[in-house]
Amino acid sequence: MEDERGASTLRQAEAAGLAVPFVPWSAIEPDFLARWDQGQHLAVFGPNGTGKSHFAFTVAEDRVALRGASCVILANKPRDKSLSSLAAKGWRRIAEWPPGYEERLGRRVILWPRYPGPSNPRANRRVFMRALDGIMREGNWLVVLDEARYWVEQMGLRTQLDEMWTASRSNGITLVAGAQGPSWINTAMREELQWGAFFRPQHRERAMDVADITGDRRLWPVLMGLRRHEFILGQLRTDTYVRTRLPKPSAPAGSAEPKADSPSPPR
């Protein structure tokens, strides 16, 4: 059942001639993975805590299993529970590019160099730039940039990521980029964006900005009507949208451990 807010905004959307059906994740995921071709970028939008990372890591993992691509998650944090839980699932953590033979076997790596501290957050910039060059040369990688704005602004990789985003399609590089809103996406990127996952925005203005990305402003009331952890999955070129929701993540392996047991970063 829709809650009050959901029901009224969905009515507005329907009045505007737009209905976005709810489809269980188990029903939509196989179809989505089959259609989401290598080289097609996916942007994930939503406020903190809505489930962007859970979604990005799930589709990355399932895509590796189903489509045979290799996946790398870029990370530059002191610690991160959900990334640590991926390590427990067989993702290999590396501090430098390229991954070695052993690390490539599972086709799932996290490039996560030692966090340099807040005084010099860009200390690892070269590591990531080398990785982007290597990834482009090799091709056939899926690259997850959780919190895209961080990479663009804090890490100062705007030019490099623009280049990757617009030139990588022919190399079979797929980017998955999460963010709260679309402000970091420029016009050229917009044209290259094929897929979107949209969680309920914080407010109406953000909902309109996000709806703009889809090219259909009528989507904003549908966005505002989404329930917790629910999102719209859209193929932007074909204007195909469904509402769906992932199953609850299994508890991160690290969550039951005392802090002192957190894996220490590689040197």
Ligand X SMILES: Nc1ncnc2c1ncn2[C@@H]1O[C@H](COP(=O)(O)OP(=O)(O)OP(=O)(O)O)[C@@H](O)[C@H]1O
What does the binding site for ligand X look like in residue numbers (CB under 6 A)? 46, 48-54, 82, 229, 245-246, 248-249
> Whose CA is closest to 171, among 129, 143, 140, 193?
140
Q: In what order do the strands lie in the sheet with 193-199?
A: 92-94, 108-111, 70-74, 141-145, 174-179, 41-45, 193-199, 230-235, 240-245
| Closest to ligand X by CB, 248 or 259 | 248
Name 143's bridge partners.
Answer: 72, 175
The least distance separating ligand X from the CB of residue 245, rounded to whole angstroms, comes to: 5
Residue nearest to ligand X (CB): 51
| Token output for 138 | 């090799």
Q: Nearest approach, Cβ of 45 to ligand X (angstroms)?
A: 10
**Amino acid symbol at 84:** S
Q: How far is the CB of 186 from Mg ion (least distance, A)?
A: 22
User: If contact means CB under 5 to 8 A according to the sort of partner, which of ligand X, Mg ion, none does residue 196 touch?
Assistant: none
Report the residue closest to Mg ion, judged by CB.
Answer: 53
Nearest-approach distance from CB 54 to ligand X, in angstroms: 3
Contacts of 242 (CB under 8 A, 6+ apart): 20, 21, 22, 23, 28, 232, 233, 234
Our CB check for ligand X shows the closer of 108 and 229 to be: 229
Can residue 53 be called a binding residue for Mg ion (CB under 5 A)? Answer: yes
What residues make contact with Mg ion under the rule CB under 5 A?
52-53
